């Protein structure tokens, strides 16, 4: 799809059916489980394994700001955050449905850009777009995506399987997406005062990419399969390390110790936090939208994972009575608090 930036086609000119045809024409499916995709009353999927289903909604003004979020990036991110939830179940995403509600401030070309990002994500991750819905909105853009995945039942990983002495692991680095958002928000406020100002993000490109175009950890899912590892529990980090760790401990009825010095933080994150007078550990614990995987493994799998690049061992699971604690660099114990993203918070 190639939206011409010089054109502005009102959606009302093409109507709902014309819009759907424009956005979905030429879509091909690649997964054997997809028997029928876009074009009928419903998609047809024939699952040979256990099915995993997740839904995520993104609302303009709550989850994204169009002042600094390109529509192609938004489409890519909207798909990827759903893929991440499927990988967090130790399953493979295979299909998505996409529903959008859109106001009249958007043109057909805008939605073509959005779908270009969606379809690029599907291509990168080997997922079929098989259906959805479109309708009008009185308040900007709303995107709702349902992702469908599959896995052997014995490999599906829940939040509830962690046990005392399990090792707590996390992929990638934390806090970078949050710092990318802080940089964007800062420049937005500068722009409001001086619309002629040009933002300078030199040295912070990685942080912007982590916020605007995150990636799901397909590589880690594949590593688990190759290494014969089934995590005892797992969750993706969308709301911050503290909140996600508390979810696991609550569902598993256990406690934990997270070591501050073990939390992986990229240098760009640390530099941006210092520049903005923010505590780096707090950003990593509570920032959210990293879409890394937080998981636990049994001691028996330690040798398989201890030297794997991009996976950090940050703590261990304890008995419930010990609570959920951050062990600071000076050895103090600080209770973990759920201070991450909350869409209902003022």
CATH number at residue 244: 3.90.650.10
**Backbone φ and ψ of 244, nearest 5°:** -70, -40
233 and 286, same domain (yes or no): yes
What is d(CA 88, CA 234) in angstroms, rounded to the nearest whole number? 6
211 and 148, same domain (yes or no): no
Map tokens 């950003």 to a residue. 283
What is d(CA 288, CA 282) in angstroms, rounded to the nearest whole number? 11
What is d(CA 112, CA 225) in angstroms, rounded to the nearest whole number? 36
186 and 298, same domain (yes or no): yes
Question: Helix 205-212 and helix 176-193: axis angle, to 10°?
Answer: 100
Q: Which two tokens stand for residue 42?
A: 């419903």
Residue 27: how many other CB atoms lie within 10 Å: 16
The answer to whether the CB of 264 falls within 8 A of the CB of 332 is no
Q: Which two tokens stand for residue 30?
A: 């690649």
pTM of the model: 0.92
Half-sphere exposure of 200 (CA within 13 A, CB side): 1
229 and 283, same domain (yes or no): yes
Domain range for 254:
167-335
Q: 102 - beta bridge partners?
A: 136
175 and 321, same domain (yes or no): yes
178 and 142, same domain (yes or no): no
Is residue 70 included in any domain, yes or no? yes
Is residue 18 included in any domain, yes or no? yes
Q: Is 250 helix (H, G, I), strand (E, B) or coil?
A: helix
Half-sphere exposure of 172 (CA within 13 A, CB side): 25
Tell the burial category of 113 from Cβ atoms under 10 Å away from its Cβ (0-12, 13-18, 19+).
buried
25 and 97, same domain (yes or no): yes
Is residue 345 included in any domain, yes or no? no
- Domain end: 92, 124, 153, which one? 153
What is d(CA 295, CA 341) in angstroms, rounded to the nearest whole number? 20
Q: How many domains, in total, are found in the chain?
A: 2
Question: What distance lies between CA 158 and its chain's CA centroid?
Answer: 17
23 and 129, same domain (yes or no): yes
Each residue's pLDDT, cut to its tens digit, for the chain (346 residues) gives 344 455 777 766 776 666 777 777 778 888 889 988 887 888 899 988 999 999 999 999 889 999 899 999 999 999 999 999 999 999 999 999 999 999 989 999 999 999 999 999 999 999 999 999 888 998 899 999 999 999 999 999 999 999 999 999 999 999 999 999 999 999 888 888 888 788 878 889 999 999 999 999 999 999 999 999 999 999 999 999 999 999 999 999 999 999 999 999 999 999 999 999 999 999 999 999 999 999 999 999 999 999 999 999 999 999 999 999 999 999 999 999 987 545 445 4
Q: 3-state DSSP helix/strand/coil percent for the chain, to nearest 5?
A: 35, 25, 40
């Amino acid at each position: 799809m190639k939206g011409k930036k010089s054109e502005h086609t009102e959606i009302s000119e093409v109507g709902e059916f014309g819009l759907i045809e424009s956005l979905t024409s030429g879509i091909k499916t690649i997964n054997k489980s997809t028997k029928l995709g876009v074009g009928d009353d419903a998609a047809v999927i024939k699952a040979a394994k256990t099915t995993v289903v997740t839904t995520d909604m993104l609302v303009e003004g709550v989850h994204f700001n169009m002042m600094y979020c390109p529509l192609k990036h938004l489409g890519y991110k909207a798909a990827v955050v759903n893929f991440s939830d499927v990988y967090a179940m130790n399953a493979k995403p295979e299909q998505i449905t996409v529903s959008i509600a859109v106001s009249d401030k958007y043109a057909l070309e805008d939605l073509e850009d959005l779908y270009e990002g969606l379809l690029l994500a599907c291509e990168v991750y080997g997922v079929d777009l098989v259906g959805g819905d479109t309708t009008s909105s009185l308040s900007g853009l709303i995107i709702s995506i349902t992702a469908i995945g599959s896995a052997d039942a014995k490999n599906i990983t829940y939040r509830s399987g962690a046990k005392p002495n399990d090792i707590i692991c996390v992929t990638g680095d934390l806090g970078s997406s949050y710092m990318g958002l802080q940089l964007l928000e800062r420049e937005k406020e500068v722009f409001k005062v001086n619309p002629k100002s040009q933002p300078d993000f030199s040295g912070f490109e990685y942080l912007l990419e982590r916020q605007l175009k995150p990636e799901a950890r397909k590589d880690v899912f594949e590593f688990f399969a190759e290494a014969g590892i089934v995590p005892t529990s797992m969750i993706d980090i969308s709301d911050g390390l503290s909140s996600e760790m508390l979810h696991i401990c609550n569902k598993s009825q256990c406690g934990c110790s997270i070591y501050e010095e073990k939390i992986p933080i990229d240098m760009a994150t640390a530099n941006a936090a210092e520049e903005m007078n923010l505590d780096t550990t707090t950003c990593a614990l509570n920032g959210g939208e990293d879409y890394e995987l937080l998981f636990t493994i049994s001691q028996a799998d330690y040798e398989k994972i201890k030297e794997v690049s991009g996976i950090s061992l940050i703590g261990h699971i304890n008995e419930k009575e010990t609570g959920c604690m951050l062990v600071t660099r000076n050895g103090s114990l600080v209770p973990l608090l759920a201070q991450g993203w909350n869409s209902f918070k003022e």
